[in-house]
C-alpha cells in the first residue's frame, strides 16, 4: 500500500490526485490482463512507448506492443491470474513517475505461484498518465 513514506521526488502540485490516477492505471493493467483485453491494455501506452517483457523481449512502440500482446494475452486466464499493487512512486518530474509494482501470480485455484516486480515509467499527457518506458521483471527468489 502506498504511504507518504514511499512517494518521493519532485511532487506534482496535487500529489493526491496524481497518485489516484496512477493507481487507476495500475488497476486497469490488472483488469485488462484478467479480462484478456488486448485493446484496453495497448491503450494504456504512449505511441512511442518501450516495453520489455518478463522474458526479456524488447518492444518499441505501441504497434509492436499490440502485436506481441495479441499473441500472448488471449487465453492466459486459463493459467491463472495476477494482482498488481503499487509499492513505491518516484516522481522524476511532476509529470513523470517511476512506479514500482508488486505483481503476484495465482493458479486457477487461487494458490500463489510466483511474483513479478514491474517498473512502469509513466508520463502525464494532456491530463492522462500513460505507460512510457516499462520493464516486467520476474522475481526468482520470492523477495
Chain centre distance of CA 136:
8
CA-closest candidate to residue 27, choices 81, 68, 85: 85
Longest Cα separation, the chain: 44
pLDDT, average across residues 52-70: 95
Give the domain ranges of the chain: 4-139
pLDDT, average across residues 98-125: 95
With beta carbons less than 8 A apart as the criterion, state whether 90 and 98 touch: yes
Return the higher-pLDDT residue of 42 and 11: 42
pLDDT, average across residues 40-59: 96
One-character DSSP codes across the chain: ---GGGEEES--SSHHHHHHHHHHHHHHHHHHHHTT-HHHHHTTEEEEEEEE-TT--EEESHHHHHHHHHHHSTTGGGG-EEEEEEEEEEEEETTEEEEEEEEEEE-TTS-EEEEE--EEEEEEETTEEEEEEEE--EESS--
With beta carbons less than 8 A apart as the criterion, state whether 131 and 50 touch: no
CA-to-CA distance for 50 and 141, rounded, in angstroms? Answer: 26
pLDDT, average across residues 48-73: 95
pLDDT, average across residues 60-85: 94
Residue 57 has pLDDT above 90, yes or no: yes
With beta carbons less than 8 A apart as the criterion, state whether 122 and 46 touch: no
Predicted model pTM = 0.90
The architecture of the domain spanning 4-139 is Roll (3.10)
Confidence of residue 110 (pLDDT cuts 50, 70, 90): very high
Amino acid at each position: 500500500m502506498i504511504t507518504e513514506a514511499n512517494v518521493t521526488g519532485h511532487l506534482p502540485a496535487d500529489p493526491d490526485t496524481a497518485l489516484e490516477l496512477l493507481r487507476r492505471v495500475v488497476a486497469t493493467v490488472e483488469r485488462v490482463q484478467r479480462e484478456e483485453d488486448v485493446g484496453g491494455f495497448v491503450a494504456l501506452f504512449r505511441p512511442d512507448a518501450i516495453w520489455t517483457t518478463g522474458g526479456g523481449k524488447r518492444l518499441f512502440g505501441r504497434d509492436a506492443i499490440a502485436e506481441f500482446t495479441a499473441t500472448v494475452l488471449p487465453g492466459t486466464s486459463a493459467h491463472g491470474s495476477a494482482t498488481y499493487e503499487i509499492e513505491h512512486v518516484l516522481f522524476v518530474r511532476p509529470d513523470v513517475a517511476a512506479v514500482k509494482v508488486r505483481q503476484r501470480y495465482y493458479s486457477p485455484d487461487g494458490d500463489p505461484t510466483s511474483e513479478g516486480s514491474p517498473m512502469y515509467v509513466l508520463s502525464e499527457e494532456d491530463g492522462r498518465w500513460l505507460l512510457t518506458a516499462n520493464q516486467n521483471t520476474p522475481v526468482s527468489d520470492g523477495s
